[in-house]
């Protein structure tokens, strides 16, 4: 499946979620329940499935590199996002833009996209690369999105540890244990893991649509909301590509890392903005960014995939 075909498929999944919400096929609170099911069950299974490769010492040597690149890219994109945050006057909307530039939809869209473009090897690299990003994701979402002066409530060490020890990261740990030891789950469990893995991305995209469906679509599709989608889909991968171009590392790793940066806004951006930022305009900015950046990615991801194949 080409990047263009997969992008169109993802947009269709999102449209299904939007229509389900608009037609009231689903009830209030369904999105929260579906999100809980995906994050706690389907996503860990998808991660375990993606790590089910035969152990290779050569691949092990890439672990420190991938973890280092994750920190580098996070710092790079957070820095770019913070510059725009300062330039836009430190407003609530600017906070959404900073977070949107910093983090992409690396779970629901990233995993299937990498799998389709670069196969099991690329998916393996992608899971390791995004492991520390998941930790930072749950740690920084409150401080980055909370309005100035309110801040997110100072959390206890127990609360922070509970956020870090979440099911997706547990899936990474289980998958790595199986990878290093060569152990395999019993056939029945393997089938269950594979089955839940298969539904993770489609349901994740439907969930994005359900979230978007809460709003009047006319209020989301406006020129003023194009700034973040353009920054997320075009500037973020361009900056990442420029930095990685100079590094003498495996071309496959470069492709995976730049593709992470080329993905649209995180699917949970609107949900977290609602949780941490009471400003209605910030919430519209977040929801519109998910919709428009995902639609824009139908064109930009195939473009970046072609550029990466030519450059690396």
DSSP letter for 233, please.
Answer: I
Closest C-alpha to 105, from 193, 26, 7? 7
Q: What is the pLDDT of residue 180?
A: 87
Which domains, from first to last, does the chain contain?
Answer: 3-306 (1.20.1530.20)
Distance of CA 261 to CAs 6, 50, 64, 289, 294, Å? 17, 20, 20, 15, 13
- The strand pairing partners of 104, in sequence order, are 265
Any idea which residue has 């679509």 for tokens?
Answer: 217
* Mean pLDDT in consecutive groups of 10 residues from the start of the chain, 312 residues: 77 90 89 86 89 81 93 94 92 91 87 85 91 80 75 58 73 89 91 92 84 78 89 96 93 96 86 79 86 88 93 89
Q: What is the pLDDT of residue 290?
A: 86
Q: Using only C-alpha atoms, what is the Rg of the chain?
A: 19
Which two structure tokens, joined as six digits, stand for 197? 């893995």
Which two structure tokens, joined as six digits, stand for 85? 């945050």
Residue 254 contacts residue 308 (beta carbons within 8 Å): yes
What does pTM read for this prediction?
0.85
């Amino acid at each position: 499946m080409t990047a263009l075909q997969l992008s169109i498929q993802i947009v269709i999944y999102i449209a299904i979620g939007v229509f389900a919400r608009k037609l009231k096929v689903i009830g209030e609170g369904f999105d929260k329940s579906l999100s809980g099911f995906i994050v706690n069950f389907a996503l860990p299974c998808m991660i375990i499935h993606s790590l089910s490769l035969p152990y290779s010492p050569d691949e092990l040597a890439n672990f420190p590199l991938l973890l280092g690149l994750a920190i580098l890219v996070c710092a790079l994109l957070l820095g770019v996002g913070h510059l725009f945050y300062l330039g836009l006057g430190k407003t609530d909307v600017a906070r959404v833009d900073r977070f949107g530039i910093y983090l992409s939809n690396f779970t629901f869209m990233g995993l299937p996209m990498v799998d389709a473009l670069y196969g099991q090897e690329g998916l393996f690299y992608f899971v390791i690369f995004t492991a520390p990003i998941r930790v930072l994701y749950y740690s920084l979402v409150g401080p980055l999105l909370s309005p100035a002066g309110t801040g997110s409530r100072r959390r206890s060490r127990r609360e922070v540890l509970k956020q870090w020890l979440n099911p997706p990261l547990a899936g990474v740990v289980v998958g790595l244990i199986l990878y290093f030891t060569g152990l395999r789950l019993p056939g029945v469990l393997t089938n269950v893991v594979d089955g839940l893995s298969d539904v993770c991305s489609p349901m994740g995209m439907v969930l994005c649509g359900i979230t978007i469906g809460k709003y009047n679509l006319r209020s989301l599709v406006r020129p003023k909301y194009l700034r973040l989608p353009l920054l997320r889909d075009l500037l973020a991968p361009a900056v990442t590509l420029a930095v990685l171009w100079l590094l003498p590392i495996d071309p496959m790793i470069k492709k995976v890392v730049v593709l992470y940066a080329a993905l649209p806004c995180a699917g949970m951006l609107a949900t977290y903005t609602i949780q941490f930022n009471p400003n209605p305009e910030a919430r519209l900015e977040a929801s519109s960014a998910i919709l428009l950046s995902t639609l824009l990615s139908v064109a930009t991801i195939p473009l970046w995939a072609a550029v990466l194949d030519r450059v690396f």
